[in-house]
Structures are given as C-alpha cells and as structure tokens.
Amino acid sequence: MRLLLRGGPVHAPAVPGADAMLVVDDRIAWIGPASGAAVHAADADAVELDGALVAPAFVDAHAHHTMTGLTLLGLDLRGVPSRQALLDAVRAQARRTRGRPILGHGWDETAWPDETLPTRAELDRASWGSVVYLSRIDVHSAVASSALLALLPGLTATPGYEPAGRLTGDAHHLVRRHLTEELPGGLRGAAQRAARAHAAEQGVVALHEAAGPDINGAEDLRALLALAAAEPGPDVVGYWGRPGVAGVREAIDLGAVGVAGDLFVDGAIGSGTAWLHAPYADSPGTGNRYLDGEAITETLVAATEAGLQAGFHAIGDAALDAVAEGLRQAVVRCGQPAVRAARHRVEHVTMAGPDLPGVLAAAGAVASVQPLFDATWGAPGGAYSRRLGPDRAAGLHDFAALVRAGVSLALGSDSPVTPIAPWEWVRAAMWHHNPAARLSGRAAFAAATRGGWRAARRDDAGVLAVGAPATFAVWAVEELAVQAPDARVANWSTDPRSGTPGLPRLDPGTPAPSCLATVLDGRVLYVAGDAELAGQLGPGTAGEHPCGSGSVAP
C-alpha cells in the first residue's frame, strides 16, 4: 500500500507546517508540504483531506471491554436524574427483556434530589422478579434484585452485603464475578465487539483492559484477547489484577503483559470505599483496604524479577502512600534500574500526597489517570466535596504536580465509568476545576496518545514521524490553536518562530472534533460513513455495526 494524505494539517512536531503524509504499508514514509509530495509519492493513491487534521490516534489506558459493551447494548443509567427514574428505566427494560437478566450501569445518587437508593423489593416489583444488577457509576458498588441475590446463598455472610440489596466491597466483587463468568458466550462476544467498534469510532486504536478476578474473571480476559487476535479492531493490552507470585504466573498464563489494571488497593470515593487516612466528611469510616503493604511489595518484586509490569488501583491518600512505600521497598530489594525498567503503573492517583510524585518519578512508574473524574465530580460543592470536604477535594487529580516531578502520564476513561471520548479527556485535563492542576493542550494530548503507548512499554508509537507506525486518526476540526494554562507559554507557542503545531481549540462549550477515520499500523479500522474519505480510504464493512453509523474495516 502506498497512500498519500494531503491538503490538511499533519500534527508532526518535527515537521512544522506539514500538510501531507505518505504511508507505505504499515509505516510513515514521508511528511512534508503538499507542494513537494510529487517527488516522494508519484505512484501513491491520494486521499484529499480538505482541511481535516491528521494526528496521532488515541490510546485508552484503562478500560473494561465487556462492561462497556454491555452498557452500550443494554441499560445505560448514566445521567438518570432520580431514584424513581431509575426504577422506571428498569420497568421499561423488563418489558423489553421479558424475563431475561437486566444488567445496567451508571447511576449516581449524588446527582439525585434524594440520595436514597432503590431497595431490592422495589427492583423486584419494577422487574417482575427478574435478575437485576445495576452498578454505580464508579463500578465499586451496586444494587441487586432478590432473584440475583438468591443465586449466591453464601452472599449474606460476605462483607459488603446489605439486606436491602446494596452491595459493596467483597459482596459486590462476588456478585460481579458470578455475572461475568455466567455470561453466555454470544453476549460476551457481542459486548466486546461493541466496545472495540465504539472505540475505533472515537479515534482510539488501543485499549488497556484492566481485568482481574474481582472485575471480570480469567475466562473473560481470555475471550477478549482471543477475539482481538482473530478480528480487526483496536489493539488490546491485557492486564491481570491478582497480587503476588501467583498473580505473576496467572498473568503469564493468560497472555497479559502485567499484574496490573484493577489490582485493588482500595475502592472509590463515591462509594465510600477509597482508603483514607482521615474519615470521610459525610460518614465516620475511612474506606476499605484490600491489599496491605507486604502484598504490594511482594507483587512489585515478583513482577520486576519476571520482567512484567505491576500496577495498582489506588485512589485514597492512604492507599497511595501504601503503594509509594511498596515502590521504595522494591527499589531496595531489586535495585532502582530494574524497577525503573519494569515501568510499573498506578491507576487513578486521585489523592496524591506531596511526596508521591517524586516517589513515582524515581521508580519510573506511570500514572494512569482519568481527567473526566474531575470534570464529573470535582466541581466546588460536587460529589468529591460532599464526600471529603472542600479542602481535601480541591487537591484531587493534580496532573500538573505529577508532570512537574517528571512522572509519565497516560490518559484513559475507566469506561464505562466515564466515556471513551478522548478529546473530552484532553479538555478536562486542560480545564481542571483547580487551575493549578491544569495541563497544557500539548501535554494532555501527548498523555492521551504517546503516553498510553509508553504505559504499555511501547516507545515506538504515538507520534507521526518518518519510520514510525502508520497509526493515526483524521479529524474534522473548526480551528487549531495552542492552549496552555500559563499565558507566557501560550504566547511563545503561538509565535511562528516556535513551530508549535496547533491542536483543536477546546475551550469549554466548544464542540469536540469529529472522527473521520482511524488507522492502526496502516490498517483502516473506521471510516465515517458520511465522510468523503470513505471512498478513498476504502469501503470497510458496509452497513451498520453495534455502535452506530459508519463502517469498520474488515
């Protein structure tokens, strides 16, 4: 294949002003001005961009394929405004499913006028006695019907079980594991395909699956990795969240690249299960601790010695301090070069203390973060503030402090917790509710593209340069700009002498760019059905796919 894209800006920092790019097979062969393209691409098939932007494609550094697909295909409760509206949605779904299990996701009681959760008796009535599982937006708690709870007789003695049907902690993990293990193979495959197709539509070419025994089970990860190897679509980077030497062995057996992803040290702030040093502002507890310091250190050491990544879900300040101490101990036992080479990960990094960025930087660890968490819950008076109090809430998700310390960032969604909407991740990082925590557009975009590849220890991808993989997305954009929280940086970056390439303007309220095409290693994954590029890049698979209009390439 020899393909010349021309007539639109190419985001290649090493070639300022480029508006053409030549792809030969799976590599970028040339980037430069369209006026000079004939010398390099006389026999190439031309794709006219008509002003569209060519840029590195995005990577979602933390996602859950099956739950994302079930949300896309099933009962999406994100934005449900009240308890009664949730019950009405269950009632309508029960009419459609006619006795089949009802799986839903996304309710957030902190946005309701009355934060009282529906009871299992109310779910029983709304669903006519069906099996019902409805996970909270953070996926760290759920409500369930009597029919579901009856499937697990030992559940009532499990920590986190509440007779009214609310599930947290171990009880929630037990129920979720049962559901994913019992999913019919056809439904699991449909959900995973839907998630991958949806990601491709958003300009995403790789997703890091944060799997684990308390999330979706080994069979689900095996099925996903097999599907990704057999069918076209975004790359899947699999992680397996079981601790210790046993976890390392299981990860290798499953084909995962690390004992990471959602290896839980604690839970989530919204569910009151994040592990804190001081009690929550709205309850007397300090959350849940799922791993102690010894288990964290053992996992880091075992992974380092095996040449794998380790990584931990850590949100609360106590959880993050425990991970920091584990990294210090791993450096003592394995040596700093070996620990840095492993490139271990910390997922979420929500309540970082002042010393944590330096510890992560010294250990060469990656911070896998989700900017839409702040956009969704970080406003003054929002959910974080109500759970933690305004002083603690103001310091959450400090992306700028991590970058200043030299920590490598990777952005993601934690889908279905927040959407696979990469330009919105970039926007949220740029317009953090705390101005001191904001990133420049360039830094946020790099973390959402190259940062995701680096988090998976792939240092050759995520940039448009000669010899790099032909992995990119094409975007319909209205205006390009250089945006930075520091006016001095912004002023210099917009000076023509700087040669800084622009990115879509992402002021609050402006529309996000629309994806016209997504390409991975020279293979077209997605072309918008109404784009003029469709006929030039290839027809893909005709007709609709599970996530809307357009086409996904075979």
163-180 pLDDT tens trace: 999 999 899 989 988 887
Distance CA 466, CA 521 (A): 13
Mean of pLDDT over the chain: 91
Distance CA 147, CA 142 (A): 15
Distance CA 549, CA 516 (A): 12
- Residue 519 structure tokens: 């390409």
Q: Contact, 95 vs 128, CB < 8 A?
A: no
Confidence of residue 553 (pLDDT cuts 50, 70, 90): very low
- Residue 164 structure tokens: 């009214």
Could you say which DSSP state residue 240 is in? Answer: E
User: What contacts 390, CB < 8 A, 6 or more positions away?
Assistant: 380, 381
Distance CA 113, CA 69 (A): 29
What would the DSSP string read from start to end of 130-151? --EEEEETTSSEEEE-HHHHTT
Q: Evaluate if residue 182 carries a pLDDT over 70.
A: yes
CA terminus-to-terminus distance, the chain = 16
Nearest to 195 by CA among 166, 171, 216, 170: 216
Q: What superfamily in CATH does domain 2-57+467-477+513-552 come from?
A: Urease, subunit C, domain 1 (2.30.40.10)
- Residue 468 structure tokens: 């790099």
Residues spanned by CATH 3.10.310.70 within the chain?
66-182
| Tokens 């004992």 belong to residue | 259
Distance CA 530, CA 326 (A): 52
Would you state the pLDDT for residue 318? 98
Task: Tell me how far the alpha carbon of residue 416 is from its chain's centroid.
Answer: 9
296-305 pLDDT tens trace: 999 999 999 9
Residues spanned by CATH 2.30.40.10 within the chain?
2-57+467-477+513-552
- What is the SS3 assignment for 6? strand
Task: Tell me how far the alpha carbon of residue 169 is from its chain's centroid.
Answer: 22
196-232 pLDDT tens trace: 999 999 999 999 999 999 888 899 999 999 999 999 9
Return the CA Rg of the chain.
Answer: 23
Q: Contact, 102 vs 127, CB < 8 A?
A: yes
Would you state the pLDDT for residue 358? 98
CATH topology classification for 66-182: Diaminopimelate Epimerase; Chain A, domain 1 (3.10.310)
Q: Contact, 52 vs 8, CB < 8 A?
A: yes
Beta-bridge partners for 210: 239
Distance CA 194, CA 538 (A): 21
Task: Specify the pairing of strand 523-527 against strand 75-76.
Answer: unpaired
